[in-house]
Amino acid sequence: MFTILKILSVIALLDYIIYAYYKKHYNIYLNNDCYKYRIIICYTFWIIISFSIFYNILHITRNTYIITILVSFLLYLLMNIYNKCNYTNYSYCFMCVDTIFGVIIANLLIIIILYVK
């Protein structure tokens, strides 16, 4: 269990680095609470996925893997749509990049947890 939390911390750091880089690249100015809410929502999602896979609650087959990808896509897309509605300088390019990297990070987490298991 401690290993899962260490993996999640590294994934959260990777997510922050990517998010901060592209936020600076696209000149997005947000308050700090925006990323705090994002990390709470994503970290909760990552914990649910990782514990479900590690303790065999969720058996990864092709169908469950596709459903997990769709859920992660919808989660990141809805967060970006919410931010787009609240902030005027939030660009569509940043939304696409953030959603794609969010799905990649979720897939990376699944692969790592399957390997650790």
What tens digit of pLDDT does each residue of 38-92 get?
Answer: 889 999 999 999 999 888 888 888 888 899 899 999 999 999 999 889 888 888 9
Residue 109 lies in a domain: yes
Hey, how many other C-beta atoms are within 10 angstroms of the C-beta on 115? 8
Section 87-115 average pLDDT = 90
Q: Which long-range contacts (CB under 8 A, 24 or more apart) does 57-66 make?
A: 60/110, 60/114, 65/110
Percent of the chain with pLDDT over 70: 100
Residue 91 in any domain: the answer is yes
The total of structural domains in the chain comes to 1
Portion of the chain with pLDDT greater than 90, in percent: 42
Residue 28: φ, ψ to 5°? -95, 125
Mean pLDDT along residues 112-116: 87
7, part of any domain: no
Residue 23 lies in a domain: no
Asked if residue 66 belongs to a domain, the reply is: yes
**pTM score:** 0.86
Which has the closest alpha carbon to 103: 40, 61, 48, 42? 42
Residue 8 lies in a domain: no
Residue 27 and residue 48: Cα distance in Å, rounded?
Answer: 32
Rounded mean pLDDT of 20-25?
Answer: 88
Evaluate whether residue 9 is within a structural domain.
no
6-18 mean pLDDT: 91
Tell me the residue range of the domain where 108 lies: 30-116
The reply to whether 34 falls in a domain is: yes
Q: Does residue 113 contact residue 1 with C-beta atoms inside 8 Å?
A: no
